[in-house]
Every structure is written in C-alpha cells, then in structure tokens.
Amino acid sequence: MRNHLFLALHLSKPELKVSWINYIGQYLFYSLFTFLFIQGFQAQESRFVGLDLFLLMLFVFGPVWFRVKGLQLQQVSGNTWVSPATIMGLHLPVANRVIILKSIIIYLISSLPFQLYMLIMLYLFSPEIRDSMSLDAYISFVIIWLSFGIYAGLSVLTADVGTNMNNKKSTYILSILLIASIIGFIFFMPYLFTYGIVEWSIIFAKKWSLASAILSIMFAVIGLHYWKTKMLKQMKKTDYL
Amino acid sequence: MEPLLYIADLEKQVMDDFHLGPINLKLEPGTITALIGNNGSGKSTLLKTIMNLVKPDHGNIKIDNMFVHGENENWKRLVAYQPQTIIGWDAFTGEMLKKLIAPLYPDWDEALFQKMVELFEVPLGKKFAKLSQGVQQKLNLALTIPRNAPLLILDEPTSFMDIPSKKLLIDLLVEWMESGNRSILIASHQIDDIKKLSDYLFVLHNGKMLGHFEKEELTSTYARYWLRDSLSDTRIPGEVTREDRMIISDNPMETEAYLEAKGIQWSNRSSLELDDIITILLNNKKM
C-alpha cells in the first residue's frame, strides 16, 4: 500500500506541475462563487433558496472543470471515453490500483483546498452565516460538505478510468431524463420539504453537530472505498481501443 | 526455452464488424518478430490485447509465464510498449516525461536515452503537443527503448520518421538486441524495417492469423520460373500465380518435379523479394 501511494504520488507530480495556472483560475472561480453565495444569503435574509444546485455542482464537478486541456476526458475510439492520464498510466509498469489512487489524489488536491477556502471565506465575510451558526455548528457544516465532495464528487472519476458507452438513443434519453429529474428534485426540494439541501445541512449541523460530522466522515470513508472498487472493476472490463 | 510471450486461442470481437483471431503465437527471447497485415487487419488491437488494454473474449496471453489478464500485474515491468497513437503526453515536455518514466524501470539506460535525443535532435523542453508527428515519434522511441524491458513492443514506430532517422533507428535496435535475451514485436508496413530487423514474420489478414514464418525459410520457399513454352490451363503443383509464361511457386520441389515429368523447360529461375511474398500472403489468393 505504501509503495502504491509512493508510485501514485510520483505519477501525480507532472500533472500537478502543469496544472498550476488552472488552479489560479479555479481559485478565482471559487472566489466569485463565494461572493455570489454571500450576496444571495444576504438578499434572502439568511435563506439559501435556489442556490443549492450551484453549491452541489461546485462540490462535485468543480475540480474537473479546470483541468488542463491535454488532460480532459477524450474519446479514444468509437465509443470509449477516458482521461488521457489513465491511458498514459496503463502504458507504464504500475498496477491499476496505482492509476486509480493517482486520480483520487489529483481530484482531492483539486477540490479540498478550494472548497475549504470557500467555506472559510463564507464564514469570515458573511455576518448572516456567523449569526445563524455557532463555530461548532459551522465546523460540522464544513465537514458535511467536504465529505459530500468526497463521497459524491469521486463519482465523476468513474469517467476518468474509461467507459465503453453505447450509442443507443434510449441511453441518451434515459441519461437526460435522469439529469433532469435530479435537477428538478433539487430545485423543488424547498417547496416540497420546506428547506433545500443546503438549509437542511445547516439544520443538521446546528442540531446534531457531532453526529452529523461523524456520519459524514464515515460516508466519506465508505464512499472513497466504494468508488475505488467500482473504478477498478470498470478498468477490468473497459476496452481501451 | 520458455517463451517470453505466449498467446493461445486468442479471440476478440470488436464492435459488430471486426473479429480478431483465433491467434496463437510464441515469442522466444532473442528474436525479432514483425507483425504484418493489411490496414485494419487487427495489428494494433492484438498489441493492445497483449498490453491488457483490450480484454479478450477467449484465450490466454502470458508474459514470462504470468497471465496478462490476471490479478498479478508484475508482467508490466517486463514490457516496454510504444503505441501508434500516443495519448496523454500532450500537456508535458520531454523532460517531464523522462522524469516520470525513467524511475519506473530499474534497468533504464540514461546514456542510450541521451544518445537517442541527440541523434534524433529531440527538443526536451517543448510540450509534446507542440512537436511534429515525426519528432513525437522520435521522443516516444527515446522514452521506450532505454527502458530495457525484456519485451519491446513497437506499433508502427517509423511511420512518420524521415529516411535517415529510420536508418538510425534500425541500427539502434540491432545494437539493443545484442545486449541480452531481449525480444521485439514490431508492427510495421515498412519493408526495410521488416527486411533488416525481423527473424520471424507473423501475418494477419482481416483479423485472421495467416501464419508465423521464419523469414529466411519463407524467402527460400518461393521461386519464380520463366518457362520456354506456353502453358496449358492445368494448375501446376505449388503454383501460386502465373502471368503469361511466368509462374510463382510456393513449393519449388513439387513444381520442378512436375515440370521435369512433363518435359516443360524453364529458361530462368529466381527467388522472390520479401515484399512480393508478403503481397502474395496478404492477398491471400493465388495470383
């Protein structure tokens, strides 16, 4: 395992080296959203309605939006999409687990520091947030969301290790329907359940700070293990033609 | 001797319109095998299957007695693979790629790498994406051959290279083979590569294996005859093709015995060039 980690860090180095300018762009992007969230919170008098989708997108897709051009998902054959970095790893004398571990390391480096920066800035610059949550509750809120970034965010890495997509019309239609349902649910949640996802996470953080934080960390650990195993299985059956 | 690469009954269906195999192949250490075939014959697919980039539907591949599609991935250390299309290198410079690749191979030959970079005039400070296709290919080779893995797999290594560089590469590969019990499997359309480098030819046609031939034996198998008189329509034993009074045979002994028995004389007999033989094999028909 230690050897795997060492090799994964070795594979990560060149990617990190060429990504620094994109990380500056990502920092500015998160700063912009921090400003928008503070304004939204202020305008809605400490409510967070309609902004859930943006926060969720930032915690799931934010880290992959700013990838270097040569490392973005690529179609390598008729129906296979994969991260070029995965293909490069597959040509090297490293185990598939190492390639997956490297993807996770890069994802976490591209997500956690920026998300943490945003959450700290929100607390420092929004009196409404400070008024609505004690420091304990806010730490729990931060853990809930950083953990979400791990157990939900890592799902995007399954695309990195490659998928042999089928080009059937029904698959496209089902995918679009699924995405539309998720967006619809997130959008209409405040009308159906009084509060949206972010507001519910604030309630949980305030009422059950410790339990919410512990559960979230557990989800993050389980999620990490689940996605690692899923990616490994996917690699075993994908044809990189 | 235990084969370095062993392929048995390998089959793979790709999409709905292409079937590779069944393929059977053994590569002994110390040999160079040229993988030959028409366009779309499945050469790259076969090499990718050896590298576990493509999963077979049927059959086995072993490298140094380790199953390529099994749990043990230690076989990867024994192979250096140069793909036809390089994916994933665009964002990096040659120097960055060298720092990434070299430490992964215990037998990395830094002197050879430097020699190849110098010979091929590869700029190591430029991003891979900014290099011409020929220079990309040269850099790829400079980062593949010095790995000194026992099995070197090259997929069309010279397709974009200039003529002097092709010659340099052939010399380098010949020299590289002298150093030990290494094997090369090289997919190529370049007849010079095949003639100068290969000991064996493995021929594929539309996914099907046509044969695994020893090069010298193959060239001695074919002969061309110019006959003194016109021929009847009767097929001559060993005849592969005929044109007016010229026939090509893949079994000169049988052909000559027949001609002598029938009292048919020939004015000249010559052996065939390797490219003519490959053409006959790939056309897969009696010309």
Each residue's pLDDT tens digit, B17-27 = 899 989 999 99
pLDDT of chain B, 287 residues: tens digit per residue = 789 999 999 999 988 889 998 999 999 999 999 999 989 899 999 999 999 999 999 999 999 999 999 889 999 999 999 999 999 999 999 999 999 999 999 999 999 999 999 999 999 999 999 999 999 999 999 999 999 999 999 999 998 999 999 999 999 999 999 877 899 999 998 888 888 899 999 999 999 999 999 999 998 899 999 988 887 788 889 998 888 889 999 999 999 999 999 888 999 999 999 999 998 888 854 33
Side-by-side strand order, sheet with A163-164: A74-77, A80-82, A163-164
Residue B54 to residue A69, Cβ atoms within 8 A: no
Pair type for strands B32-37 and B200-205: parallel
Quick check: is B277 in a domain?
A: no
Residue A14 to residue B87, Cβ atoms within 8 A: no
- Considering only CB atoms, A239 lies closest to which of B54, B90, B100, namely B54
pLDDT of residue B286: 37
What type of residue sits at position B91? A
Residue after which a domain boundary falls, among B190, B217, B244? B217
Quick check: is B283 in a domain?
A: no
Quick check: is B276 in a domain?
A: no
Angle at B260 between CA B254 and CA B262, to 5 degrees: 105
B32 class by beta-carbon count within 10 Å (0-12 exposed, 13-18 middle, 19+ buried): buried
Count the neighbouring beta carbons within 10 Å of the beta carbon of residue B194.
20
Quick check: is B281 in a domain?
A: no
Q: Which domain holds residue B251?
A: 223-271
Tell me the average pLDDT across A193-211.
Answer: 91
Residue A239 to residue B55, Cβ atoms within 8 A: yes
- Considering only CB atoms, A90 lies closest to which of B14, B53, B89, namely B53
Quick check: is B232 in a domain?
A: yes
- Is the peptide bond preceding residue B22 cis, with omega within 30 degrees of 0? yes
Per the structure, how many domains does chain B have?
2
Provide, as residue numbers in chain B, all residues whose Cβ is less than 8 Å from the Cβ of A22: none
Judged by a CB distance cut-off of 8 A, whether residue A92 touches chain B is yes
ipTM of the assembly?
Answer: 0.89
pLDDT of residue B49: 97
Per the structure, how many domains does chain A have?
1
Q: Which domain holds residue A41?
A: 2-237
Provide, as residue numbers in chain A, all residues whose Cβ is less than 8 Å from the Cβ of B55: 236-239
pLDDT of residue B114: 97
Token pair recorded at residue A32: 């912009």
Within 8 A by CB and 6+ apart from A224, the residues are A104, A150, A151, A154
Count the neighbouring beta carbons within 10 Å of the beta carbon of residue A24.
11
pLDDT of residue B284: 57
pLDDT of residue A46: 64
Q: What is d(CA A178, CA B184) in angstroms, rounded to the nearest whole number?
A: 49
How far are the Cα atoms of A176, B232, B233, B267 from residue B228, in angstroms, in the given order?
Answer: 75, 13, 16, 6
Please tell me whether residues B79 and B131 are part of one structural domain.
Answer: yes
- Considering only CB atoms, B88 lies closest to which of A17, A84, A237, namely A84
Tell me the β-bridge partners of B224. Answer: B248, B270
Judged by a CB distance cut-off of 8 A, whether residue A53 touches chain B is no
pLDDT of residue A192: 83
φ/ψ bin of B18: left (φ > 0), alpha (ψ from -120 to 50), beta (otherwise):
beta
- Considering only CB atoms, A240 lies closest to which of B15, B54, B79, namely B54
Please tell me whether residues B139 and B247 are part of one structural domain.
Answer: no
Which helix (H) or strand (E) segment is B226 a member of?
strand B223-227
Quick check: is B280 in a domain?
A: no
Judged by a CB distance cut-off of 8 A, whether residue A88 touches chain B is yes
Quick check: is B282 in a domain?
A: no
User: pTM of this prediction?
Assistant: 0.91
pLDDT of residue A165: 72
Please tell me whether residues B107 and B31 are part of one structural domain.
Answer: yes
Please tell me whether residues B176 and B254 are part of one structural domain.
Answer: no
Residue B73 to residue A96, Cβ atoms within 8 A: yes
A122-142, pLDDT tens digit by residue? 999 999 889 989 999 999 999
Q: Which residues of B touch A (CB under 8 A)?
A: 14-15, 45, 48, 51-55, 73, 76-77, 79, 81, 83, 87-92, 96-97, 99-101, 103-105, 129, 149
